[in-house]
Amino acid sequence: MPVNNESDTTSATREKDFTHLDEQGKATMVNVSDKIVTRRSATARSVVVLPGEVLAKLVNGDIQTKKGAVFQTAIIAGIMAAKKTGDLIPLCHPLGLENCNIHIHLDEQRQLVIDCTAQITAKTGVEMEALVGASIAALTVYDMCKALSHNIVIKETRLMEKTGGKNDFKRP
């Protein structure tokens, strides 16, 4: 049975904790009309564990399949998705991104690291755009490589850094 702590939570606390809830606890888009325009940037990372049979296909920094170059396709898919975040996440503001870059590399554990950085000068941040871009790039890698193995694991997706707005954030 779900726990309801609503009686313990004032609407002021709820509003502070959950910006997408109004005073009655109903879903709402955040009103950014009084915010100032600042330069905003966010970087998100997805980590994908590729099994040996997939890694064995890595040549010249990419994996070639009948569908095309995996990493190049993932980069394009991630950028396209970041631009569509407002259509995918119900309460996100639709944003005209000024820049979006995706970088893919293998780390020292031979895990695929996908970094997506989104940038804009606006009243609202681009964390969700960066997270969506990294996530869709990872899903594209999975889709293009699943014929080789279903043991691909999208291990994590997380915000690494954000600047602009009220608070900056940087994961140590």
CA distance 133 to 42: 11
**Which residue blocks in 20-126 are alpha helix, DSSP H?**
52-55, 70-83, 85-88
Q: What are phi and psi of 162, to 5 degrees?
A: -145, 145
What SS3 state is found at 73?
helix
Q: What are phi and psi of 139, to 5 degrees?
A: -65, -35
Residue length, the chain? 172
Catalytic residue numbers read: 143
